[in-house]
Copies of this chain bind each other. A is one copy, B any other.
């Protein structure tokens, strides 16, 4: 008998009929001899409308109370799920964050799971019940409701799978797995059978929105095997697992892109110690996340500094930086919102030279100019003009032969 944790996202529980379908699926798993814990998100659109309601009440609603408000979305889902299963003649029971004893810190809106007491869940499972746990929510040490941030139900599922020592954590979503790249812009995109935690982390942070980053970190930390698959089909999806020797044979596993960045360049900055910290200190203090940073070698004691932030932070950052740049005697500050980041990801590139060159050459053949480059052990990212994004993705997908499962050397 296996213990399975299944997470169904907002589109999978978006209507009464869909919740019934999800209940049927969970029941089938149980009938096959498994113990089943389902983690549900709020019905599609619910969280957004609750946030809108809060926005009507106050321009920046109190974070503790916002969590009390938006956690009702998942509460509705699990109650309806358990009703559905019981109406079909099977025993089921909903549990909220405080009942499932999902303990978090008190960072409302983006709380982190500390630990889960599994007694209540195990007791319900042993009664033969399907246990429906409200995703996204937990309880801090004061007994107050917290939420885990966007996509937090993924984290709930993985954390539960770890705490319950589940055999598998299945993430049901509206796509049927993790692809080599976005099939909407590259028809040759191929579903991956397997991907390592680290590759998945890079894919996720680069804009492939299949799994919440934190849930993958959690899975990696506790060795939880994740199966990403479609709610609407029976086909096998993509396994997200620890890295194996075999994986290194593949140089590049996927191509990701992100159109949500903007670039800021400070020209002719006096190149002296402490200047970078002077620039970035107010930016970090404003809670703005800087992605890539590049500083050119200095000439005549002057240098250029370029960095990227998300588009939503662009105007605020330009304001902050323009002020400082003036005061420290830089020539000017330039901003550019029409950029995109394309990246290739693969654990295999660690042990192979020449991957970067192959990427640059492929882009060059299409006359796509590279504005910035950044690399990690298993990733190479280039900033390019936004209008070339789709072309670049297709070109790189071709260059590394991602449409076939054959090795790409």
Contacts and interface: CB of A to CB of B under 8 A. Distances in A.
Contacts of A334: none
Given A16-B53, A53-B16, A84 B68 contact: no
B87 A80 contact: no
B87 A58 contact: yes
A61 B75 contact: no
Nearest to A59: B87
B59 A80 contact: no
Interface string A42-59: 000000001001101111
The quantity of this chain's copies bound in the complex is 2
A65 interface: yes
Interface of A: 16, 19-20, 50, 53-54, 56-59, 61-62, 64-66, 68-69, 71-72, 75-76, 78-80, 82-84, 86-87, 93-94, 96, 98-99, 120, 143-145
Contact of A58 (B62, B66, B83): B83
A65 B83 contact: yes
A62 B82 CA distance: 8
A143 to B, nearest CB: 6
A2 B207 CA distance: 56
Nearest to A88: B58
A86 B53 CA distance: 16
B94 A57 contact: no
Contacts of A58: 83-84, 86-87
Most buried by B among A20, A53, A71, A80: A80
Most buried by B among A19, A57, A93, A94: A57
Given A65-B94, A66-B83, A82-B65, A19 B72 contact: no
